[in-house]
Amino acid sequence: MSDATDPWLIVGLGNPGPDYAANRHNVGFMVADLLATRIGGKFKRAQKAQAQVVEGRMGPPGPASRRVILVKPMSYMNLSGGPVTALRDFYKVPTAHVVAVHDELDVDYGMLRLKLGGGDNGHNGLKSMTKAMGPDYHRVRFGIGRPPGRMQVADFVLKDFSSTERKELAFLVDRAADSVECLLAEGLERAQSAYNS
Query: 122, 115 in Cβ contact below 8 A?
Result: no
Tell me what pLDDT residue 105 has.
96
Residue positions annotated with a catalytic role: 25
Identify the segments of the chain with pLDDT beneath 70. 1-4
Per-residue model confidence as pLDDT tens digits over 41-90: 999 999 889 999 999 999 888 877 899 999 999 999 999 999 999 999 99
pLDDT at 63: 76
pLDDT of the residue at 84 = 98
How far is the C-alpha of 161 from the C-alpha of 60, rounded, in Å?
33
Nearest one of 86, 48, 118, 31 to 126, comparing CA atoms? 118
Report residue 112: phi and psi, to 5°.
-120, 150
For position 60, what pLDDT does the model report?
80
Would you state the pLDDT for residue 72? Answer: 98
The model's pTM: 0.96
Phi-psi region of 195 (alpha: psi -120 to 50; beta: other; left: phi over 0): alpha
Q: Of the candidates 121, 119, 153, which has an alpha carbon nearest to the alpha carbon of residue 136?
A: 119
pLDDT of residue 3: 63
Helix (H) or strand (E) holding 69: strand 66-73
C-alpha distances out from residue 184 to 4, 67, 96, 180, Å:
10, 10, 11, 6
Contact call for residues 59 and 184 (beta carbons, < 8 A): yes
Indicate the burial class of 116 (C-beta count within 10 angstroms; 0-12, 13-18, 19 or more): middle
d(CA 69, CA 71): 6
Question: Alpha carbon 91 to chain centroid distance?
Answer: 18
